[in-house]
Amino acid sequence: MKKSKSRIVNVSSLGANWVEMDLNKLKRYNDFFTDYKLSKLCNIMFTIELASRLRGTSVTTYSLHPGTVKTEINKDTGLRGIFIRALVRIFFKNATEGAQTSIYCSVANDLESFSGEHFEDCRMVKRYKSASDMMLVKKLWEESEKVVKIE
């Protein structure tokens, strides 16, 4: 019987490229944008470490930036929001376009050798500098285990 293959796909953001991991910042509220970027960096770092831990199994992992997608995040931003919403309508991806990289990482053939890598626009991209410190990746995993009380 052929062993089935499974994939774990984590949605992150380009914002992860613009923050440095500080494990102490994870234990407190900073500001919305810092915390958002940190959470997306955690998604990427989690994916990297999980791929390492799953090496040799039939499960692979991928993280991705879906692009800048039209959402309701700017719905209640007042007068400034009118300008922002106009830019969003013109330049941002719609939901179907924004879903393409998630779909690609979920079903594309021959991605197994890229487990733990990051994707944008349906292609693998160079790992963000913010996610390149493998010791910090492991420390984040260990800290996460402590927080959720599992090993």
Q: What are phi and psi of 76, to 5 degrees?
A: -110, 50
d(CA 147, CA 11): 22
Sign of the torsion angle spanned by Cα atoms 104, 125, 55, 8: negative
Among 118, 119, 121, 56, residue whose Cα is nearest residue 93:
121
Q: Is 36 a catalytic residue?
A: yes
Q: Please provide residue 22's backbone torsions phi and psi, each rounded to the nearest 5 degrees.
A: -135, 110
In the set 29, 36, 104, 128, the catalytic residue is 36
Q: Rounded to an integer, what distance in angstroms lies between the CA atom of residue 106 and that of residue 76?
A: 33
Catalytic residues: 36
